[in-house]
C-alpha cells in the first residue's frame, strides 16, 4: 500500500467519529438558534425542541448492513 492509500485508509477510519461530532455540533447550534431538530435513535424518529423536550414522531426502519460492492434497490 502506498502512502496516499494509507492516508485515505486513515481518513476513512476517522470519518465516523468526525461525522458524529459534526452532527452533535450542528444539532446544538440549531437548538440554540431556536430551531427544532429531527433525528433517529433506536429505530424512532424524534423531534427535539429548543427547550430540550423530545417528541416521538414515528417508528423508522433500522439500518441495514451492506457488504462493500453490493448493489441494492430501494423500493419507491
Residue 72 maps to a domain: no
Residue 47 maps to a domain: yes
Residue 21 maps to a domain: yes
Residue 16 maps to a domain: yes
Residue 64 maps to a domain: no
**Residues 5, 13: Cα–Cα separation, whole Å:** 12
Residue 75 maps to a domain: no
**Residues 37, 42: Cα–Cα separation, whole Å:** 16
Would you say 66 and 72 are in contact if contact means Cβ atoms under 8 Å apart?
Answer: yes
**Residues 56, 47: Cα–Cα separation, whole Å:** 6
Full domain range(s) for residue 21: 3-59
| Residues ≥6 apart with Cβ < 8 Å to 59 | 43, 44, 45
Residue 28 maps to a domain: yes
Residue 70 maps to a domain: no
pLDDT at 1 over 70: no
Number of domains in the chain: 1
Q: Note the pLDDT tens digit of each residue in 16-72.
A: 888 888 999 999 999 999 999 999 999 899 999 999 999 999 999 877 777 878 887
Amino acid at each position: 500500500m502506498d502512502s496516499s492509500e494509507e492516508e485515505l485508509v486513515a481518513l476513512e477510519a476517522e470519518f465516523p467519529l468526525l461525522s458524529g461530532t459534526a452532527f452533535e455540533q450542528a444539532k446544538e447550534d440549531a437548538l440554540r438558534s431556536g430551531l427544532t431538530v429531527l433525528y433517529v435513535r433506536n429505530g424512532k424518529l424524534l423531534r427535539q425542541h429548543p427547550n430540550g423536550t423530545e417528541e416521538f414522531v414515528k417508528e423508522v426502519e433500522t439500518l441495514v448492513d451492506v457488504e462493500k460492492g453490493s448493489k441494492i434497490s430501494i423500493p419507491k
